[in-house]
Amino acid sequence: MKKTFYALIIPAILTILFTLPVNLAFSRAFNNDFETGDLTDWEKEGTAFDFQPTWGDNPTARGRGQPSQHQGEWWLGLFEKYPGEDKAKALGVNPGATQGDAPQGKLTSIEFKIIGDSMNFLIGGGNHPWGGNTPCCVNLEINGDVERTATGNATETMSRKEWDVSDLKGQTAKLVVVDQNGGGWGHPNFDDVHQADADGENIPWDRVLAVEAQGKLAVSWAQMKKYY
């Protein structure tokens, strides 16, 4: 009797799970710190990101005297042209190589739900704010509108900055790294972005993102219960 019951109930449960509008079983991380060694989860335009992400402390390798203070091994350093040993060999460049400030473009992340009270990240490079003619910055966009923006402080050394996003909870956003400046300090540096809860604890990205079978993004029921 028990075997018959389980033989009937298990297929029924599996059918329900696979037909739910939100896939509760499969969540994924976001390439928030570029540790994939490439631009997975991001879409580039222009030429500024052709050799990104940068590997290691390339500013120190070129004797700049301003250590990058990046997290992990990879980060966005748009003055740099050292995308790791293997790619560098193919390009014929060595540690310390640069592309300069001339290349321009933008890099746009996948969409994600804002479920935290704040967002924090490492940023450096030029101080050319959004709203000027030639910005170099990182923006948080919702429905095409820039809701938050940040720049570096004219140093290759990145520091951690934070946005209060508590009023944006529940909305779908994306990050855009902007380089529209070809002059002095015409590049941003960026790395290691997180959402954080009201206590300042970073929320793992696999709790933020859940991917449906149809390829849409949604939060799981567990996430909704915890953060809404």
- Within-domain flag for 63: yes
Domain count, the chain: 1
- Within-domain flag for 18: no
Q: Which residue carries 């939100």 as its tokens?
A: 22
- Within-domain flag for 52: yes
Looking at the chain, the whole-number percentage of residues with pLDDT higher than 70 is 80
The amino acid that residue 96 corresponds to is G
- Within-domain flag for 38: yes
- Within-domain flag for 149: yes
Say whether pTM exceeds 0.95: no
> Which of 212, 222, 175 lies closest to 28, judged by CA?
212
What's the confidence (pLDDT) of residue 4?
52
- Within-domain flag for 49: yes
Q: What's the residue count for the chain?
A: 228
Residue 39 belongs to a domain with what CATH number?
2.60.120
| Structural tokens at position 22 | 């939100």
Confidence of residue 209 (pLDDT cuts 50, 70, 90): confident
65-94: average pLDDT: 96
- Within-domain flag for 78: yes
What confidence tens digit (pLDDT) does each residue in 9-50 have? 555 544 444 444 444 445 678 999 999 999 999 999 999 999
In whole angstroms, give the CA distance from residue 129 to residue 32. 22
**Across the strands, what pairs with 139?**
149, 176
- Within-domain flag for 22: no
Domain that holds residue 149: 33-202
